[in-house]
């Protein structure tokens, strides 16, 4: 497996120096799914051909949350930190996170090219998807970029529709699959297991009393999409080690009714204290619905069956 240097993350500006001969792509890239990866792959190859460095420009918060603040339906596949981890795995050199606010949304396409692409980044080349739009009211287009490229002296390459469209994937299709608990489809579109991450917080410790101690995870991003309630086969990464695990998403109806959705993971073969630790959970398969059991003994028997399914899954 090829290991790349961690992507360098910059918030609003480069420090101390701009990348060398930067080749740039821009977008929200939520999920960095297989469709996005067509663009990222070309970006990296082009940077090498130009003896430069690859730069992904993205925005935080997500533009929709600023443009439509009353729309509560927006859920994200990734936090900025998770996006950086995925881009690192792909071999991107730099991630530039631009603060997105109402003033930025009002920036014209011409000003965006001049202030961001030219003055801030100093791009030698742009690599974009065939339907890329930018600037106020999405007035910017490939034609606009070609015109401005002649003025400022950078190149523009558009990824053809036939390349991107052969991977018929969108972030919205992945969100729909996750909401239905269809991890197999979501992961096939992503090209990697869907990931949840957050800090372990104190729970009621009831799992410990029946031999299934769980870590309660507080998800770090408020807009993070949580898959459908149920029990899942997962792997948990903590302090550089990975553990097979089972995860419950739901309200723990057998114990009592929770007011808020909880995420609990039971790590197979792990002993120790996880409170305060940051966990990364890779989700593979939904095993079953969350159920209300008649008593604790019935719950424990089901958990033993769930554990066996997890172990069998990773044996294959």
At 125-158, the pLDDT tens digits run 999 887 788 888 888 888 889 999 999 999 999 8
d(CA 62, CA 55): 19
d(CA 316, CA 312): 7
Structure tokens at 145: 């970029």
Query: By C-alpha distance, which of 42, 40, 44 is closest to 52?
Result: 44
d(CA 128, CA 39): 7
pLDDT at 3: 60
Q: Are residues 187 and 95 in the same domain?
A: no
Q: Are residues 78 and 219 in the same domain?
A: no
Q: Are residues 132 and 22 in the same domain?
A: yes
The SS3 of residue 113 is helix
**List of residues 6+ apart from 281 with CB closer than 8 A:** 195, 196, 197, 217, 234, 235, 236, 237, 245, 247, 263, 265
pLDDT at 168: 61
**List of residues 6+ apart from 266 with CB closer than 8 A:** 207, 212, 213, 214, 215, 245, 246, 247, 303, 307
Q: Which of 110, 141, 169 is the last residue of a domain?
A: 169
d(CA 126, CA 109): 15
61 prior amide bond cis, ω within 30: yes
Cα–Cα distances (Å) from 171 to 197, 211, 225, in that order, read 19, 39, 11
Q: Are residues 153 and 289 in the same domain?
A: no
Q: Are residues 129 and 212 in the same domain?
A: no
Q: Which of 108, 137, 169 is the last residue of a domain?
A: 169
Q: Are residues 221 and 248 in the same domain?
A: yes
pLDDT at 239: 86
Q: Are residues 152 and 26 in the same domain?
A: yes
pLDDT tens for the chain, 316 residues: list them.
Answer: 456 679 999 999 997 789 999 999 999 999 999 989 989 999 999 999 999 999 999 999 999 999 998 888 899 999 999 999 999 999 999 999 999 999 999 999 999 999 999 999 999 999 988 778 888 888 888 888 999 999 999 999 988 765 555 556 788 899 999 999 999 999 999 999 999 999 999 876 666 666 789 999 999 888 999 999 999 999 999 988 999 999 999 986 555 555 678 999 999 999 888 999 999 999 999 999 988 888 888 889 999 999 999 999 999 7
Counting the structural domains of the chain, the total is 2
1 falls within a domain: no
DSSP string, 239-306: TTEEEEEEEEEE--TTT---SS-EEEEEETT--S--TT-EEEEEEEEEEE-----SSHHHHHHHHHHH
269 falls within a domain: yes
Q: Which domain covers residue 56, as residue numbers?
A: 8-169
Q: Are residues 142 and 216 in the same domain?
A: no
2 falls within a domain: no
174 falls within a domain: no
Q: Are residues 129 and 237 in the same domain?
A: no
Structure tokens at 177: 């699959």
**List of residues 6+ apart from 129 with CB closer than 8 A:** 27, 39, 158, 159, 164
pLDDT at 207: 60
Q: Are residues 199 and 131 in the same domain?
A: no
DSSP string, 239-256: TTEEEEEEEEEE--TTT-
d(CA 123, CA 121): 5
Tokens 């999405």: give the residue.
138
Residues 12, 98: contact at Cβ < 8 Å?
yes
Q: Are residues 275 and 136 in the same domain?
A: no
Over residues 30-50, the pLDDT tens digits come to 999 998 998 999 999 999 999
Query: By C-alpha distance, which of 129, 135, 121 is closest to 170?
Result: 129
Q: Are residues 27 and 151 in the same domain?
A: yes
The CATH number that applies at residue 224 is 2.40.30.30
d(CA 214, CA 231): 13
The CATH number that applies at residue 107 is 3.40.50.620
Helices (H), the chain: 34-49, 63-67, 80-90, 102-105, 109-112, 142-152, 161-165, 171-179, 183-190, 206-209, 296-315
Q: Which of 106, 136, 169 is the last residue of a domain?
A: 169
């Amino acid at each position: 497996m090829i290991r790349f240097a961690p992507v360098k993350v910059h918030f609003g500006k480069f420090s101390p120096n701009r990348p060398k001969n930067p080749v740039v792509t821009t977008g929200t890239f939520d999920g960095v799914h297989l469709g996005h990866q067509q663009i990222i792959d070309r970006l990296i190859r082009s940077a090498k051909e130009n003896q430069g460095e690859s730069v992904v420009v993205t925005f935080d918060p997500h533009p929709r949350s600023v443009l439509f603040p009353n729309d509560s339906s927006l859920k994200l596949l990734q936090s900025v930190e998770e996006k950086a981890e995925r881009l690192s795995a792909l071999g991107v050199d730099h991630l530039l996170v631009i603060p997105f606010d109402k003033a930025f949304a009002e920036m014209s396409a011409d000003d965006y090219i001049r202030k961001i692409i030219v003055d801030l980044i100093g791009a030698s080349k742009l690599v974009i998807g065939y339907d890329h739009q930018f600037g106020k009211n999405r007035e910017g287009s490939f034609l606009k970029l070609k015109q401005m490229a002649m003025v400022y002296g950078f190149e523009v390459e558009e990824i053809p529709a036939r390349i991107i469209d052969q991977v018929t994937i969108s972030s919205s299709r992945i969100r729909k699959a996750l909401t239905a608990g269809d991890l197999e489809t979501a992961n096939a579109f992503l090209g990697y297991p869907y990931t949840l991450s957050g800090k372990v917080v104190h729970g009621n410790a009831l799992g410990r009393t029946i031999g299934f101690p769980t870590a309660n995870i507080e998800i770090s991003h408020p807009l993070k999409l949580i898959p459908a309630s149920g029990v899942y086969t997962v792997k948990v990464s903590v302090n550089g080690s990975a553990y097979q695990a089972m995860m419950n998403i739901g309200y723990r109806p057998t114990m009592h009714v929770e007011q808020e959705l909880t995420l609990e993971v039971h790590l197979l073969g792990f002993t120790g204290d996880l409170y305060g630790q940051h966990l990364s959970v890779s989700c593979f398969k939904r095993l079953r619905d969350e159920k209300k059991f008649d008593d604790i003994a019935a719950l424990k028997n089901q958990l033993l069956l769930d554990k066996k399914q997890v172990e069998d899954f990773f044996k294959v």
